[in-house]
Amino acid sequence: MSSLIAQFHAEGNAARRVACRLCGYEHVRVPLARGQRAGCVRCGTMLEKRGRFGPHAPLAFALTGIILAIPSVTLPLITVSKIGNIRMSLVYSGAGALWDHGMRILATWVFICGTLAPVLLFATLGALIAARRELDPAMSPRLLRAAHALEYWAMPEVHVLAVLVALIKLGTLVNVFIGPGFWCYTAMSVVLALAWRSFEFESTEPAAGARRAFSA
Amino acid sequence: MTPSAAPPPPAPGPPLALALAGTIMMVPANLLPVLSTNLTGQTRSDTIISGIVALWEDGMWGIAAIVFTASILIPVLKLLGLGWLLLAVRWPPRDGRRRRTLFYAVLDFIGRWSMLDVFLVAFLAGTVKFGALASVEPRTGIVAFTAVVVLTVLATNAFDPRWLWVEASNPDERTAPDPDGPAGQTP
Global model pTM greater than 0.90: no
- d(CA B136, CA A87) in angstroms, rounded, equals 13
- B155 to chain A, any CB pair closer than 8 A? The answer is no
B168/A42 touch (CB, cutoff 8 Å), yes or no: yes
Confidence at residue B101, expressed as pLDDT on a 0 to 100 scale: 86
Give residue A135's pLDDT: 58
B123, A96 in Cβ contact below 8 A? no
Chain B CB contacts of A172 under 8 Å are 58
The ipTM (two decimal places) reads 0.82
What's the pLDDT score for residue A205?
52
Indicate which of A3, A11, A16, A25 best probes the interface with B, i.e. most B CBs within 10 Å of its own CB.
A25
- Residue A152 pLDDT > 70: yes
Confidence bin at A87 (pLDDT 50/70/90): confident
pLDDT at position B25 over 90? yes
- Dihedral angle sign, alpha carbons of residues B61, B62, B65, B70: negative
Mean pLDDT of chain B: 83
* Number of Cβ atoms within 10 Å of the Cβ of A110: 29
Tell me how close the Cα of B46 comes to any Cα of chain A, in angstroms: 14
Percent of the residues in chain A that have a pLDDT greater than 90, as a whole number: 25
Question: Which of A77-91, A131-145, B33-47 is predicted least confidently?
Answer: A131-145
- How high is the pLDDT of residue B20? 94
pLDDT in tens, A35-57: 777 888 888 888 877 777 777 78
Q: Is residue A10 part of a domain?
A: yes
Distances (CA, A) of B131 to A34, A132, B38, B137: 57, 53, 9, 11
The verdict on residue A207 lying in a domain is no
In a domain, A86, yes or no: yes
Residue A2 predicted with pLDDT over 50:
no
pLDDT in tens, A156-168: 999 999 999 998 8
Residue B109 contacts A, CB cutoff 8 Å: no
- Same domain? For A70 and A31 the reply is no
Are A69 and A139 found together in one domain?
yes
Report the Cα B182 to chain-centroid distance in Å: 42
Query: What CATH class does B13-167 carry?
Result: mainly alpha
List pLDDT tens digits, range B57-101. 888 888 899 999 999 999 999 999 999 999 888 887 777 888 888
Query: A181 is in which domain, residue-wise?
Result: 57-201
A212 part of a folded domain? no
A109/B101 CB distance under 8 A: no
Query: DSSP assignment of chain A, as one string?
Result: ------B--S-S-GGGEEE-TTT--EEE-----TT-EEE-TTT--EEEE--TT-TTHHHHHHHHHHHHHHHHHHS-SEEEEETTEEEEE-TTHHHHHHHHTT-HHHHHHHHIIIIIHHHHHHHHHHHHHHHHHTS-GGGHHHHHHHHHHHHHH--HHHHHHHHHHHHHHHTTTSEEEE-HHHHHHHHHHHHHHHHHHHHHHB--SPPHHHHHHHH-
pLDDT at A127 (0 to 100)? 83
Q: Are residues A15 and A102 in the same domain?
A: no
Residue A118 covered by a domain: yes
- Write down the mean pLDDT value for chain A: 79
Q: Which residues make beta-bridge pairs with A79?
A: A88, A177
Average pLDDT rounded to a whole number, residues A127-153: 76
- Residue spans of the domains in chain B: they are 13-167
Q: Are residues A110 and A173 in the same domain?
A: yes
- Nearest residue, CB atoms, B123 vs list A8, A28, A163: A163
Residue A77 above 80 pLDDT? yes
Instruction: Label residue A5 by pLDDT band (50, 70, 90).
Output: very low
Looking at A11-25, A63-77, B37-51, which range is the least confident one?
A11-25
Query: A10 pLDDT exceeds 90?
Result: no
Restricting to B residues 12-31, those with a Cβ less than 8 Å away from any Cβ of A are none
